[in-house]
C-alpha cells in the first residue's frame, strides 16, 4: 500500500525556518517524481515545488522561490522541504504528493502537516 507521511510542521515566528519531511513507503520511491502542495486555511490548493525522481530537475512556485528548497534522499525514501524566511502567508497545510507513471499526476497524497507562521 502506498503511504506518504508528512512531519515537521508547527508554529514558527515570521522570518523563521522549518524543515518538512515526507516518508514514503509501499512503492519504489526512487522511480517517482514528488511534489509539495499547500492549502491555506479555508482556501484552495497551491502547488509549491517539484523534484524529479533523480533529483536533477527541480521547480518552485514564484511565491516560494529563493526561500524554500526541495530535496530528496532515495536511500531513505524521503522528500524534504526546507522553508526559510517564513511569512504569515505561508501558513497552510503542506501535502506531499506523488506523480504517478506517464501523465498521471498527484496520484497519492499524504495527510498533510500544518505550518503556522505567527508571532
Nearer to another protein, 13 or 31 (CB): 31
List C-alpha distances in Å: 22 to 14, 43, 62.
23, 22, 22
Burial class (CB in 10 A: 0-12, 13-18, 19+), 86: buried
Cell of 52: 524529479
Instruction: Give the contact letters, 77-106, x = binds to another protein (CB under 8 A), - = no.
Output: ------------------x-------xxxx
Which span (22-30, 72-80, 84-92, 108-116) binds another protein, by CB under 8 A?
Answer: 108-116
For binding to another protein (CB under 8 A), which residues are involved? 37, 44-47, 50, 59, 61-62, 95, 103-107, 109-112
Amino acid at each position: 500500500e502506498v503511504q506518504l507521511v508528512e512531519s515537521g510542521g508547527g508554529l514558527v515566528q515570521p522570518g523563521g525556518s522549518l524543515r518538512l519531511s515526507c516518508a514514503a513507503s509501499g512503492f519504489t520511491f526512487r522511480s517517482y517524481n514528488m511534489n509539495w502542495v499547500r492549502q491555506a486555511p479555508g482556501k484552495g490548493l497551491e502547488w509549491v515545488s517539484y523534484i524529479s525522481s533523480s533529483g536533477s530537475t527541480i521547480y518552485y512556485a514564484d511565491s516560494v522561490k529563493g526561500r524554500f528548497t526541495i530535496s530528496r534522499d532515495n536511500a531513505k525514501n524521503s522528500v524534504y522541504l526546507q522553508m526559510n524566511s517564513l511569512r504569515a502567508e505561508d501558513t497552510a497545510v503542506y501535502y506531499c504528493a506523488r506523480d504517478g507513471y506517464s501523465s498521471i499526476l498527484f496520484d497519492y497524497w499524504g495527510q498533510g502537516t500544518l505550518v503556522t507562521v505567527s508571532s
